[in-house]
């Protein structure tokens, strides 16, 4: 990996923790690729990046060509290079991995793309011809941005509608700056705008317009809203002050970093400064929360997870970074109640052990009787994942079909829903998933929409 700033230094700010590769270091790292016959790194990349090829180009100093190849399959390569859990995807599938000494693919991808931006190789869309058809994209997160990129390059008139005041969705408000500095997202949004994408910010579908009204306005619609409703646990004391959902906490921190006025941060409701913090959960969102709390000046930060390290769903690299920064992991422990009298003072936890595996193959956590213990806490953050909101009701479209999990039911190949010309992508279809899968869905949907609109144009002409 590139040089990582020391834990004492990076605890003081929200800047990214890895330095940039030097050209010779990037070339040396890229040259470690064995160019194997079956590139498992590419097979296990959701967007099917041509990883061995652009590593080879990087090793030979042909960086502009490496960038062109990288961005040909990924609309947001500089973002994936920073936040993808490469240890679970491409790098984890590298055939030379020994003690996780695989090629650092993500860091090279970041280096290639940052170099491209610095040298002016990244250009806005400049379609050969303009088309009359327009597409409305609901949601300006990674999936919506990826779809907009490809559709605009094909010459369509693209409009993105988003309920937030900035483009990027969770890239801006959910992911902390030490993993993804916000100017990286902002410059990509500017590139889309420079290429002709029209943004409608602070626009809430169902309030400012119904889905049917947008369908009447555009030739195709893409629903890319993501999932934002926090999963909860019904435990005694959960309604007390100081027990907060992860996204509210992270959004407040990111808004503060962007210079917004955030009353909940200023009055301490969503600020960990000087507090004993307990984060419940073991995914990447939990890692974002514990590392944010450290930077806000928390007195202590503990992560409570009901399974062990080996069964943790979050990135192992992120777990290691958190431990270096002073986070204490309380493995095999689950909350039973939140202590306090109107304001949380602690978490009553119980020790767990892993029993036999269930249908998914994961061992089921079971409580150890008589092992209850109290953990002091002034702020408890619940990072338990996300569920979809009731999109048909919110959009005023009861005819839009959803799955039994509440996600939109869309064709896995074409991404079209039961409504003609309405497509759906990303987390609102998959459930809470990775940014790179949203990008893949956005690109796939763009191809399907292009075919759909061309067929309609031919039918109309005949």
Confidence of residue 100 (pLDDT cuts 50, 70, 90): low
Q: Three-state SS for 199?
A: strand
Give the mean pLDDT of 219-230.
93
Domains of the chain: 7-118 (1.10.1060.10), 134-227+388-461 (3.50.50.60), 232-385 (3.50.50.60)
Q: Tell me: the pLDDT tens digits for 17-64? A: 988 888 888 899 999 998 988 899 999 999 999 999 999 999 999 999
Q: Mean of the pLDDT values across residues 116-126?
A: 96
Element (H, E) at 422: strand 422-424
* Predicted TM-score of the model (pTM): 0.93
β-bridge mates for residue 304, sequence order: 280, 330
Q: Which residue has the tokens 């996300």?
A: 386
pLDDT, residue 9, reads 94
pLDDT of residue 314: 81
Q: Which two tokens stand for residue 310?
A: 């080996």
Sign of CA pseudo-dihedral 394, 399, 403, 404: positive
In tens, the pLDDT along 55-65 reads 999 999 999 99
Is the four-CA dihedral 28, 30, 36, 37 of positive or negative sign? negative
Under a CB-based contact definition with an 8 Å cutoff, are residues 112 and 27 in contact? Answer: no
Mean pLDDT, range 155-182, rounded to an integer:
95
Nearest Cα neighbor of 458 from 361, 57, 450, 160 is 450
Interval 446-459: pLDDT, tens: 999 999 999 988 88
CA 382 – CA 338 distance, rounded (Å): 12
Q: What percent of the chain has pLDDT over 90?
A: 83
Angle, CA 333 vertex, CA 331 and CA 338 arms, to 5°? 135
Contact status, residue 384 vs residue 233, Cβ threshold 8 Å: yes
Sign of the Cα torsion 55, 57, 58, 63 reads negative
139: its two tokens: 């949601």
**Non-local CB neighbours of 285 within 8 Å, separated by 6+ positions:** 174, 246, 247, 250, 383, 385
pLDDT over threshold 80, residue 97 = no
What is the residue-wise DSSP string for 46-108? TT---HHHHHHHHHTT-HHHHHHHHHTT-S-HHHHHHHS-TTTTTGGG-TT-SSS----HHHH
Cα distances (angstroms) measured from residue 227 to each of 145, 329, 433, 438: 16, 27, 9, 12
The DSSP output letter for 342 is S
- Torsion sign across C-alpha atoms 24, 26, 29, 32: negative
């Amino acid at each position: 990996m590139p040089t990582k700033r020391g834990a004492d230094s990076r605890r003081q700010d929200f800047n990214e923790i890895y330095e940039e590769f030097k050209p010779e270091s990037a070339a040396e790292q890229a040259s470690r690729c064995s160019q194997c016959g079956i590139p498992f790194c590419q097979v296990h990349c959701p967007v099917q990046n041509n990883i061995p090829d652009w590593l080879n180009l990087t090793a030979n100093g042909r960086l502009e060509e490496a960038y062109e190849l990288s961005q040909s399959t990924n609309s947001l390569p500089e973002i994936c290079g920073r936040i993808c859990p490469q240890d679970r995807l491409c790098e984890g599938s590298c055939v030379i991995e020994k003690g996780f000494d695989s090629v650092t693919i993500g860091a090279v991808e970041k280096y290639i793309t940052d170099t491209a931006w610095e040298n002016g190789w990244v250009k806005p869309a400049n379609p050969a011809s303009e088309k009359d058809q327009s597409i409305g994209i609901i949601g300006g997160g990674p999936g919506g941005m990826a779809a907009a990129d490809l559709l605009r390059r094909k010459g369509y008139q693209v409009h993105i509608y988003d309920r937030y005041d900035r483009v990027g969705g969770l890239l801006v408000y959910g992911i902390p700056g030490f993993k993804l500095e916000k100017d990286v997202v902002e410059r990509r949004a500017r590139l889309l705008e420079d290429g002709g994408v029209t943004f409608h910010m602070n626009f809430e579908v169902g309030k400012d317009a119904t889905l049917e009204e947008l369908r009447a306005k555009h030739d195709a619609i893409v629903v890319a809203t993501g999932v934002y409703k926090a999963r909860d646990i019904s435990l005694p004391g959960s309604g007390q002050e100081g027990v907060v959902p992860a996204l509210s906490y992270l959004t407040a921190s990111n808004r503060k970093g962007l210079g917004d006025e955030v009353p909940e941060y200023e009055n301490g409701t969503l600020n960990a400064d000087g507090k004993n913090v307990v984060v419940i959960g073991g995914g990447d969102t939990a890692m974002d929360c514990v590392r944010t709390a450290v930077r806000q000046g928390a007195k202590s930060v503990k992560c409570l997870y009901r399974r062990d390290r080996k069964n943790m769903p979050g990135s192992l690299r992120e777990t290691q970074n958190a431990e270096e920064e002073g986070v204490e992991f309380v493995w095999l422990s689950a909350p039973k109640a939140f202590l306090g009298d109107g304001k949380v003072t602690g978490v009553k936890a119980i020790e767990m052990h892993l029993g036999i595996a269930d249908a998914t193959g994961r061992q089921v956590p079971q409580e150890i009787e008589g092992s209850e213990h109290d953990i002091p806490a002034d702020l408890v953050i619940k990072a338990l994942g996300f569920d979809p909101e009731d999109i048909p009701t919110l959009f005023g479209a009861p005819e839009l079909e959803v799955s039994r999990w509440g996600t939109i039911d869309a064709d896995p190949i074409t991404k079209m829903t039961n409504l003609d010309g309405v497509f759906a992508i990303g987390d609102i279809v998959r459930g809470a998933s990775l940014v790179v899968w949203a990008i893949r869905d956005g690109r796939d949907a763009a191809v399907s929409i292009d075919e759909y609109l061309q067929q309609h144009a031919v039918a109309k002409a005949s």
